[in-house]
Structure 1
């Protein structure tokens, strides 16, 4: 029983660390992340050819941040509720997409401002919209089910 406890402790400690070794991440990126999101928890890193992605929790909300290889924060993504949308965007969805429900909604904030993306569905169609100038939506994708 004691050896089982030791084995489980070792295994859980391996999983308690980030799922991606931070040794492979530019220290400038990690420093930038900690400076910007000092209260972040459960940071989970991944790397692509041109950027770093970190998923983490901040104030009990899951957030994803993207950094370039030099440590510059490119943009931050978080899921939001429809009540967090600017009022004009809320109104347009309610008026133009009466027979649709929201299946996904997120905010993308970066150096060029904040954009919103919403996926709307009904029994026949799925539509992805992107906000423009916080005053309207443009159709990014539309497909039949």
Structure 2
């Protein structure tokens, strides 16, 4: 019984076309991963910036509401007396540029932005676009390899 060796088959060597496709698949995986990582990084940066923008907008609105409650005189712009100069008023920012005071007061009466409230949508959208682009890059390289290999099997 010891003379019987277990059945082992020798690995089948890959054809030139299969090697070509395998190489292009690997290139596609690397290129797709690079696209995915760059897309995720841009998504995170965009989401953080959007959340920060909304936090600063609410902070400017509460500053305006506080100064209006203190009955401070509104300072208008020199070139347009219908617009309030928020920098001179004591609440710098560009979020309510050209808007009447009532718009800023209405925004201040609302609830402050919740953590990640305005970051979820840009991140989700960016992640979906990144995944789709990285899959498209992988499929592109796989298709090029398949076409150049002469439509051979994987």
Give the TM bin, normalised by the shorter chain. Answer: under 0.3
Which structure has more helix as a fraction of its residues? 2
TM-score normalized with structure 1 length: 0.23
Question: Greater share of strand residues, 1 or 2?
Answer: 1
Larger Rg computed on CA atoms: 2
Task: Report the TM-score when normalising by structure 2.
Answer: 0.22
